[in-house]
Amino acid sequence: MSETETPETAENAETSENPAEPETSQSESDEQLGESGKKALIDERKARKAAERSAAELKKQLDETATAQMSLERAQSEAKTAVERAEKAERDVLRYRIAAEHGISIADADLFLTGSDEETMSAQAVRYTELNQAPTTPRPDPSQGAKGTNQATSPADAFAAAFGGRI
């Protein structure tokens, strides 16, 4: 029953719900009840209407509460996602700052600087730079240079040494 119905339309709706019973039989049965029976019947109908209105209001409040609960859960979920994104952005900024301080490329920073706090990432960066320091001078190549044999001091001696034993 809608909330805009008046008691008269509600009574008409109640009588039209049972079309098999003619109105005359209802009025006859009401007369058989007597004055106190009619009053009790009217009171019962009023109480039923009030209960239906109350139930409709409570259902409406329940629906509003459920909607508010879903909105709250969605807002909490969005807030949690935003906090996680902010924390990730802060870690990335810290990672790239430490990488720049230690001369580490961005690709290497993403791969090797995996700590969650500044101390851990700094320690990782120091260790990485220690392991990847290139030597400043090349290592000697023993296959090049003097071999420890006597070298010819003049071009004539070098020529004789080159042909020595062949002629």
User: What's the pLDDT band for 160 if we cut at 50, 70, 90?
Assistant: confident
The pLDDT tens digits of the residues spanning 113-151 come to 888 889 999 999 999 988 888 767 777 787 777 666 666
pLDDT at 6 over 60: no
Q: What is the pLDDT of residue 54?
A: 94
0.85 cut: is pTM over it? no
Residue 10 and residue 1 in contact, taking contact as beta carbons nearer than 8 Å: yes
**Contact of 118 with 91, CB cutoff 8 Å:** no
Phi-psi bin for 151: left (phi > 0), alpha (psi -120 to 50), beta? beta
Cα–Cα distance between 121 and 112 in angstroms, integer? 9
Q: Which pLDDT value is given to residue 134?
A: 72
Report yes or no: 94 and 119 within 8 Å, Cβ to Cβ. Answer: no
pLDDT reported for residue 125: 92
pLDDT of residue 51: 95
Q: Mean of the pLDDT values across residues 50-69?
A: 94
pLDDT value of residue 10: 47
Contact (CB, 8 A) for 95 and 107: no
CB atoms within 10 A of CB 11: 14
* Rounded mean pLDDT, 45-74: 94
User: DSSP of 123-135, one letter per residue?
Assistant: HHHHHHHHHTPPP
Structural contact between residues 118 and 98, judged by C-beta atoms closer than 8 angstroms? yes
* CA pair distance 161, 167, nearest whole angstrom: 11
Q: What are the distances in angstroms from CA 141 to CA 54, 132, 146?
A: 98, 22, 11
Angle between helices 118-131 and 23-102 (to 10 degrees): 40
pLDDT at 156: 83
**84 vs 164, more confident:** 84
Residue corresponding to tokens 């001369």:
103
Of the pLDDT bands very low, low, confident and very high (cuts 50, 70, 90), residue 4 is: low
| Cα–Cα distance measured from residue 102 to residue 112, given in angstroms and rounded to the nearest whole number | 13
The span from the CA of 48 to the CA of 41, in Å, is: 10
For residues 35 and 165, the model is more confident at: 35
pLDDT digits (tens, 9 = 90+) for 7-52: 454 444 444 444 444 455 555 665 677 788 888 889 999 999 999 9
